[in-house]
Amino acid sequence: MNIVDFWRIFKRNKFGVGGLIIILIFLIMAIFAPFISPYNPNQTNPNLFLSKPSLNHPFGTNELGEDLLSLDIYGSRISLIVGFAAAAVSVILGLLIGIISGYMGGLIDEVLMRITDFFLVIPTLVLMIIIAAIIGPSLINVIFVIGLLSWPPTARMVRSMVLSIKEWPFIESAKASNAGRLYIMFVHVLPNVIPIVFANATLAIAGAIFSQASLVFLGVGDVTDISWGEILHYAVSSGALSAGDWWYVIPPGTFIVLLILGFVLLGYSFEEILNPRLRRV
Amino acid sequence: MVNNMYIVEAYGVKKYFRVKGSFLEKERRYIKAIDGVSIKIEKGEIYSLVGETGSGKTTFGRILIGLIEPTEGTVKIDGVDIFSVGRKKMKEIRKRVQIIFQDPYGSLNPRMKVRDTVAEPLKLNKIDYNDEKIAILLEEVGLKPASDFMERYPHQLSGGQRQRVAIARALSLSPEFIVADEPVSMLDVSIRANFLNMMKELNKKYNLSMLMITHDISVASYVGQKLSVVYLGKVLEQGEKNEIIKNPLHPYTKALMEAIATLGKKEKEVHIKGDIPNPINIPKGCRFHPRCPFAMDICREIEPDLIEISGTHSVACHLYKN
Amino acid sequence: MININDLYVRYKTEKGYANAVDHIGLSIEKGIIFGLVGESGSGKTTLGLTLLRILPPSAEVASGSIYVNGTDILKLDEDDMRKWRGKRIAMVFQGAMNSLNPVINIERQVAEPLVIHEEMDEERAIIIAREKLAMLGLGENVWKRYPHELSGGMKQRVVIAMAIITNPDILIADEPTTALDVVTQDRIMKLIKSLQREYNLTTILISHDLPIVSEVADRIAIMYGGKICEVGENEQIIKNAKHPYTIGLLSSIAEPGSSKEIKGIPGEPISLINPPPGCRFYNRCQFASAKCKTYAYKLKSIEEKHDVYCTLYGE
Q: Please say whether the structural domain C2-88+166-313 has been given the CATH code 3.30.420.40.
A: no
Write out pLDDT tens, residues A123-135: 888 888 888 778 8
Measured between alpha carbons, how far is residue C97 from residues A147, B6, C155 in Å?
46, 43, 5
Asked if B120 and A177 come within 8 Å (Cβ–Cβ), the reply is yes
For residue A188, what is the domain's CATH number? 1.10.3720.10
Q: Which residues contact A109 (CB under 8 A, 6 or more apart)?
A: A101, A102, A159
Residue count (chain B) = 322
Are A152 and A120 within 8 A, CB to CB? yes
Question: How far apart are alpha carbons A187 and C291 in whole angstroms?
Answer: 51
Write out pLDDT tens, residues A202-244: 989 999 999 889 888 888 877 678 889 888 988 888 888 888 8
Q: Residue B113 pLDDT > 70, yes or no?
A: yes
Question: C228 or A63: which carries more pLDDT confidence?
Answer: C228
Using the Cβ of B91 and the Cβ atoms of chain A, whether some distance falls under 8 Å is answered with yes
Q: Residue A139 pLDDT > 60, yes or no?
A: yes
Are C144 and C106 within 8 A, CB to CB? yes
Q: Where are the domains of chain C?
A: 2-88+166-313
> In Å, how far is A5's CA from the nearest CA of chain C?
10
Question: How far apart are alpha carbons B226 and B238 in whole angstroms?
Answer: 8
Q: Which residues contact A210 (CB under 8 A, 6 or more apart)?
A: A256, A260
Asked if C217 and B265 come within 8 Å (Cβ–Cβ), the reply is yes
Q: Does A40 map to a domain?
A: no
List the single best residue of B111, B129, B152, B157 to mutate versus A (max A Cβ within 10 A).
B111
Average pLDDT over every residue of C232-252: 94
Q: Which domain holds residue A212?
A: 72-278
DSSP single-letter state for residue C85: B
- Looking at A55-69, B91-105, C57-71, C181-195, which range is the least confident one? A55-69
Q: Does A256 map to a domain?
A: yes
Which chain A residues touch C13 with a CB distance below 8 Å?
A: 281
Q: Look at residue A225 in the predicted model and tell me its pLDDT.
A: 82
Helix (H, G, I), strand (E, B) or coil at B33: strand
Using the Cβ of A4 and the Cβ atoms of chain C, whether some distance falls under 8 Å is answered with no
For residue B12, what is the domain's CATH number? 3.40.50.300
Asked if B272 and C256 come within 8 Å (Cβ–Cβ), the reply is no
SS (H, E, C) A101-166: HHHHCHHHHHHHHHHHHHHHHCCHHHHHHHHHHHHCCCHHHHHHHHHHHCCHHHHHHHHHHHHHHC
Nearest to C12 among A8, A9, A281 (CB): A281
Q: Look at residue B71 in the predicted model and tell me its pLDDT.
A: 94
User: Amino acid identity, residue C271?
Assistant: S
List the single best residue of A1, A165, A170 to mutate versus B (max B Cβ within 10 A).
A170
Question: How far apart are alpha carbons B182 and B50 in whole angstroms?
Answer: 10
Asked if C262 and B191 come within 8 Å (Cβ–Cβ), the reply is no
Q: Look at residue B75 in the predicted model and tell me its pLDDT.
A: 95
Q: Does B67 map to a domain?
A: yes
Are B202 and B208 within 8 A, CB to CB? yes
Measured between alpha carbons, how far is residue B119 from residues A58, B102, B135, B318 in Å?
64, 21, 10, 51
Are C170 and C68 within 8 A, CB to CB? yes
Q: Look at residue C234 in the predicted model and tell me its pLDDT.
A: 95
Nearest to A172 among B67, B95, B124 (CB): B67
> In Å, how far is C13's CA from the nearest CA of chain B?
16
Nearest to B261 among C152, C181, C185 (CB): C185
Q: Does B266 map to a domain?
A: yes
Which chain C residues touch A8 with a CB distance below 8 Å?
A: 14
Q: Does B125 map to a domain?
A: no
> In Å, how far is B107's CA from the nearest CA of chain C?
19
pLDDT > 70 in chain A, percent:
96
**Confidence class of residue A163 from pLDDT cuts 50, 70 and 90?**
very high
Q: DSSP string of A18-72?
A: HHHHHHHHHHHHHHTHHHH-SS-TT---GGGTTPPP-SS-TT-B-TT--BHHHHH
Q: Residue A22 pLDDT > 90, yes or no?
A: yes
pTM for the model: 0.85
Q: Alpha helices, DSSP H only, in chain C?
A: 44-52, 78-84, 106-117, 122-135, 140-143, 152-164, 182-199, 210-216, 234-239, 244-251
Average pLDDT over every residue of C201-229: 94
The A residues from 59 to 88 touching C (CB cutoff 8 Å) are none
ipTM: 0.87
Helix (H, G, I), strand (E, B) or coil at C248: helix
What is the Cα A74 distance to its own chain's centre? 18
- CA dihedral (A107, A112, A117, A119) in degrees, to 10, reads 150
> In Å, how far is A3's CA from the nearest CA of chain C?
15
Question: How far apart are alpha carbons B92 and A177 in whole angstroms?
Answer: 10
Question: How far apart are alpha carbons B92 and B86 in whole angstroms?
Answer: 10
Burial B257-279 (b: 16+ CB within 10 A, else e): bbbbbbbeeeeeebebeebbbeb
Question: How far apart are alpha carbons A103 and A101 in whole angstroms?
Answer: 6
Angle at which helices A106-121 and A68-104 pack, to 10 degrees? 150
Q: Look at residue A281 in the predicted model and tell me its pLDDT.
A: 41
Asked if B215 and C181 come within 8 Å (Cβ–Cβ), the reply is yes
Question: A67 or B13: which carries more pLDDT confidence?
Answer: B13
Q: Alpha helices, DSSP H only, in B141-268?
A: 146-150, 159-171, 189-206, 217-223, 241-246, 251-259
**Confidence class of residue B27 from pLDDT cuts 50, 70 and 90?**
low
List the single best residue of C10, C11, C14 to mutate versus A (max A Cβ within 10 A).
C14
Peptide bond into B110 cis (omega under 30): no
Q: Which of C53, C57, C58 has the alpha carbon at shortest distance from C73?
A: C53
Average pLDDT over every residue of A50-72: 84
Write out pLDDT tens, residues B48-59: 999 987 788 989
Q: How many domains does chain B have?
A: 1
Q: Look at residue C98 in the predicted model and tell me its pLDDT.
A: 84
Question: How far apart are alpha carbons A62 and A75 in whole angstroms?
Answer: 14
Q: Which domain holds residue B55?
A: 6-96+175-315
Using the Cβ of A11 and the Cβ atoms of chain C, whether some distance falls under 8 Å is answered with no
Helix (H, G, I), strand (E, B) or coil at B10: strand
Measured between alpha carbons, how far is residue A2 from residues C48, C54, C69 in Å?
34, 33, 50
Question: How far apart are alpha carbons C288 and C295 in whole angstroms?
Answer: 11
Using the Cβ of A9 and the Cβ atoms of chain C, whether some distance falls under 8 Å is answered with yes
Question: A219 or B246: which carries more pLDDT confidence?
Answer: B246
| A161: phi then psi, degrees, rounded to nearest 5 | -65, -45
List the single best residue of B103, B163, B189, B216 to mutate versus C (max C Cβ within 10 A).
B189
Q: Which of A144, A150, A156, A178 has the alpha carbon at shortest distance from A99?
A: A156
Which chain A residues touch B153 with a CB distance below 8 Å?
A: 2
Write out pLDDT tens, residues B174-204: 999 999 999 998 888 888 888 999 999 999 9
pLDDT > 90 in chain A, percent:
37
Q: Which residues contact C17 (CB under 8 A, 6 or more apart)?
A: C10, C11, C273, C274
Q: Does A250 map to a domain?
A: yes
3-state DSSP helix/strand/coil percent for chain A, to nearest 5? 75, 0, 25
pLDDT > 90 in chain B, percent:
68
Measured between alpha carbons, how far is residue A141 from residues A221, A232, C12 in Å?
9, 20, 52
Average pLDDT over every residue of C301-315: 87
What value, to the nearest 5°, has the Cα angle with vertex B51 and ends B50 and B54? 160
* Residue C88 burial (10 A CB sphere; 0-12, 13-18, 19+): middle
Are B283 and B290 within 8 A, CB to CB? yes
Are B183 and B153 within 8 A, CB to CB? no
> Taking all residues of chain B, what is their mean pLDDT, rounded to a whole number?
90
Write out pLDDT tens, residues C93-130: 888 888 899 999 999 999 998 898 888 899 999 999 99
- Beta pairing, strands B29-42 & B6-19: antiparallel
Q: Residue A278 pLDDT > 70, yes or no?
A: no
Using the Cβ of B99 and the Cβ atoms of chain A, whether some distance falls under 8 Å is answered with yes
Q: Look at residue C7 in the predicted model and tell me its pLDDT.
A: 94
Which chain A residues touch B120 with a CB distance below 8 Å?
A: 174, 177, 179
Question: How far apart are alpha carbons A137 and A220 in whole angstroms?
Answer: 6
Q: Does B126 map to a domain?
A: no
Using the Cβ of A6 and the Cβ atoms of chain C, whether some distance falls under 8 Å is answered with no
DSSP single-letter state for residue B268: -
What value, to the nearest 5°, has the Cα angle with vertex C235 and ends C231 and C240? 75
Question: How far apart are alpha carbons B60 and B44 in whole angstroms?
Answer: 20
Q: Look at residue A136 in the predicted model and tell me its pLDDT.
A: 79
Average pLDDT over every residue of A3-27: 86
Question: How far apart are alpha carbons C265 and C38 in whole angstroms?
Answer: 14
Q: Residue A1 pLDDT > 70, yes or no?
A: no
Are B137 and B118 within 8 A, CB to CB? yes
Q: Does B147 map to a domain?
A: no
